[in-house]
Structure 1
Amino acid sequence: MFSIYFGRIGNFLFYLVMCIYLYGDLAVYAAAVAKSLRDVVCIRNVTGGILSDADICFSTSTLTRMDVYRIFLLGFIVCMCPFLFFHVTKSRWLQLTTAGIRWFTYLLLICLAIDRAIVLRTWSGPDPPEPVPYPTPVRASGIPTLFGIAVYVFMCHHSLPGVITPIRNKHRLNLRVIFPLFLTILGCNLLLSGTAVAGFNNIKDLYTLNFVPDEHSYDTFKIPYLLAQIFGYFISLFPVFALSSAFPIISTTLLGNIRTLFSLFKPFQTDHAQKVLRYVLPFVVAIPPCAVSLGVNDISFLVNFTGAFAGSGIQYIIPAVLVYRARRYLYSMLHPDVGYENFASTKHGDEEPLYPTNVNSLDPASRGRNLGCCERLAAWWRSCAQMKVVGPHSSIFQHILWVIFILVWAIFCIVFVLVDKIYPF
């Protein structure tokens, strides 16, 4: 679809952003799996406080927690690499099973956090096992992280076609489906976040690791100790089950996008090049996220970076420019006398650049219009004001200001997070 409205450069940028986002996804998944296994296996509370990567993992070994993390990470990548050499197609039952585990774990996280919050606030003994959590209403240092993580968490619009397509009567679709869907997602995230801050003083970058059983598990839950241990280990290992099943699917998706990205260049369109890429690209997919995860095991940093930069491109920039170009295309088809470019009539649109490469190729009238920026801007604004198509499924956000607002908001998010990484709050 993207190649219909954009030239070769736009198509290349689209696949590039997609690949960067999927690389970030794989890095997050690999780090989360390795970190979960590390925290379950290693001994806890060695220093009596917050553990660091330099602490010893086993009392009988000199391996540090970072060493064990990297061992698990390399083992995970080795186990996942074979899936890259063949297509993962029949994953229906795998996805259904994973979805069931996700919902069960989600409810379990909320219930155990509520149970813990009640126990700490109704403690009748002399000294509670942990201080009662009283989170501050606003923490300025966490605002930049919120931008990236919020974009990553709300990356759900790719599921809308699967929800909308089966619906026959699409009358008032925004009020009946889209708004309730996003409100439900917001409510689920607020419920999970609210119970987390009410039950824990220190929330780890991977929330499930807060439930790793320790010496306080007996006192901080009302449920039987054995059941708390079982639930704790199940939640702690949940990323291993869920993300391991999703890793091959995302890797295959990234492999297809990279193959398409290479096919945009003529040297890689030959049969010999395709045979070489078939065996080289799986390593191109696996090595970069593994290298990133080996050096960075901070899940919040990886999620923040992926969401703020590549995520903003996918969630904000690409949909905004796609809607803008699609509206121009639709209006030009319905009103051919207006003078907009007819995308469908271009035989080699995918091979043409997005801008004139030679100013002499323009007619004198076009060169005159290009000289006046204010005139061009005014003409563009008038043309955008006319790009409204009335229909039963027309969007209520048809004005061009909505597209501009989305683009400005995306730039603000990217700049805000980038400044925070250079000059931390």
Structure 2
Amino acid sequence: MNLFYICIAIYLYGDLAIYAAAVSKSMRDVTCTASMTIANSTNGSSEDVGDLHCWPGAEITRTNAYRIYVLAFLCLLGPFTFFNMQKTKYLQLFTSLMRWIAFSTMIVLCTIALSGGKGQGRPPVTEPAGLPNLFGVCVYAFMCHHSLPSLVTPMRSKRHLFVLVGADYLLILGFYTLLAFTGIFTFPRLYDMYTLNFQPTSDPMGTIVPAIPFLQYFLSLFPVFTLSTSFPIIAITLRNNLKALFLREERPSSATPSASPGVLHKVLERFVFPLLAILPPILIAFATENVEFLVGITGSYAGAFIQYIVPVALVYCARNQVFEALGLGVRNQHASPFRHGAWLVFVLLWAVTCVTFVTVNHFLAKV
């Protein structure tokens, strides 16, 4: 159980670092007026434009501006980690609505550009060098379907469960495939944060997609809206996981005074664990703005354990308990088509393959 909490904590640390970096990078790229002409000239990495000035007449580089926004992000959203958030229904509805509007807008703008013959993307048929990082991103993509239990639970009849879940997967696949393919055929290069490809430039006539200022600013600031609303919730979740990992409920004994342990417990709960939850990811985001690298690391290791190892262990233990309790005489009409034990072995091998590929990719990138 402790290993599970550790993996969850590592994953959430990576998640928070990604959110802090993405929001700060978006704010930097939108507000830096001295370098707005670079939108389609680089791949968005800090090595390309990090030393350029952010504002005319100011000695602040783009890298320093990014770090200023990271600190501002900490000051604005960090305090929420010290409290509890309840009744987030409307917050989640707002976030979902923003996502659908942003994704649909990006698809429509790219479709207009492609239909007008302005597409500049020439992606190769295959790119072997990108295969290792693909595994990490695919593992990280489990966030897209970790809410499936909320779809299954309200169903009174599970008779058509596989058909409905399969249709849901196909809908998600089609939507994200459309989003991805319209993007790679529209832009010559893609930022590690796709929304930054739509940021406004100093030459509206030279943009690939239709230059609509409101939509350009909305898409560029889209991560700021959605990720900022999710950041406090994830930070509080991480704080609670750290409590479950390190704090144990102990009954006070008569031999020792109860005041001192109580004060220590309150200090740890109210101050230490919130700081442990919020400071490490902020420091990581302060050190690097490479969102693609953070996604690869988070998805490759902690994500792989959560996505593959933990489910295999749960299924294996659950099947053993069911076999001991019911034996072989009971047949489940809702049994999974992947109930054979070979699928568990396959998932484990797939997890090892993913981690191996991504690890090799990280080492090769440093050579």
CA apart distance, 1:132: 2.6
Residue 222 and residue 411 in structure 1: after superposition, are their counterparts in 2 closer, same or farther (change >3 A)? closer
Q: Does 1:16 align with 2:6?
A: yes
Partner of 1:322: 314
Asked whether 1:100 is paired with 2:87, we answer no
CA distance in 2, matches of 1:137, 1:206: 22
In structure 2, the residue matched to 1:303 is: 295
2:332 paired residue among 391, 395, 403: 391
Does 1:274 pair with 2:265?
A: yes
Distance 1:57 1:389, change over 3 A: farther
Q: Which residue of 1 aligns with 2:35?
A: 44
Residue among 276, 287, 296 paired with 1:284: 276
Show the counterpart of 1:260.
244
The residue aligned with 1:151 is: 139
Alpha-carbon distance in structure 2 between the residues aligned to 1:58 and 1:389: 71
Corresponding residue for residue 70 of structure 2: 73
**Paired residue for 2:127, among 119, 134, 139?**
139
Match of residue 189, structure 2, among 191, 202, 206: 202
Is contact 1:217-1:229 (8 Å) kept? no
What one-letter code is carried by the residue in structure 2 that aligns with 1:21? Answer: Y
Q: What SS does structure 1 have at the residue aligned with 2:49?
A: coil
Q: CA deviation at 1:137?
A: 1.2
Residue 323 of structure 1, CA deviation? 0.6
Rounded Cα–Cα distance in structure 1 between residues aligned with 2:250 and 2:295? 35
Equivalent-residue separation in structure 1 for 2:324 and 2:144 (angstroms): 31
Give the distance between the partners of 2:74 and 2:293, measured in 1 at CA: 21
What is residue 45 of structure 2 aligned with on the other side?
A: none
1:421 to 1:389, Cα distance in 2 relative to 1, 3 A: farther
Corresponding residue number in structure 2 for 1:351: none
Which of 338, 342, 349 is equivalent to 1:408? 349
Aligned residues between the structures: 351
User: 1:324-377 CA distances to partner (integer Å, 9 max, x unpaired)?
Assistant: 111111111224xxxxxxxxxxxxxxxxxxxxxxxxxxxxxxxxxxxxxxxxxx
- C-alpha distance in 2 between matches for 1:222 and 1:201: 12
Counterpart of 1:250 in structure 2 is: 234
Distance 1:76 1:295 in 2: 15
* TM-score when normalising by structure 2: 0.90
- Partners in 1 of 2:166 and 2:326 — Cα distance? 30
Q: From the superposition, tell whether residues 162 and 87 of structure 1 become closer, same or farther in structure 2 (CA, over 3 Å).
A: same
Taking a change above 3 Å as real, the CA distance of residues 118 and 17 of structure 1, as seen in their structure-2 partners, is same
**2:23: which partner in 1?**
33
Structure 1 residue matching 2:116: 3-state secondary structure: helix
Which runs of structure 2 are paired with 1:120-131 in the superposition (5 Å)? Answer: 120-121=117-118
The structure-2 alpha-carbon separation of the partners of 1:267 and 1:57, relative to structure 1 and needing over 3 Å to count, comes to farther
Contact 1:208 1:235 in 2 (8 A): yes
Contact map agreement 2:136 2:295 (CA 8 A) in 1: yes
Cα deviation, 1:152-193, whole Å, max 9, x if unaligned, reads 12333421211001111101411x222222222211221111
Partner of 2:268: helix, strand, or coil?
Answer: helix
Structure 2: runs of 5 or more not aligned: 43-47, 253-257
User: Which one is further off, 246-255 or 264-273?
Assistant: 264-273
Alignment of 1:180 onto 2:167 = yes
Note if contact 1:24-1:302 (Cα within 8 Å) is conserved in structure 2: yes
Q: After superposing the two structures, state which structure 1 stretch, 51-60 or 249-258, moved more.
A: 51-60
> Of the candidates 219, 223, 230, which is equivalent to residue 239 of structure 1?
223
CA contact (8 A) 1:56 1:64 kept: yes
**Distance in 2 between residues matched to 1:32 and 1:275, nearest whole Å:** 33
- Of 122, 132, 148, the residue aligned with 1:160 is 148
Identity of aligned residues (%): 39
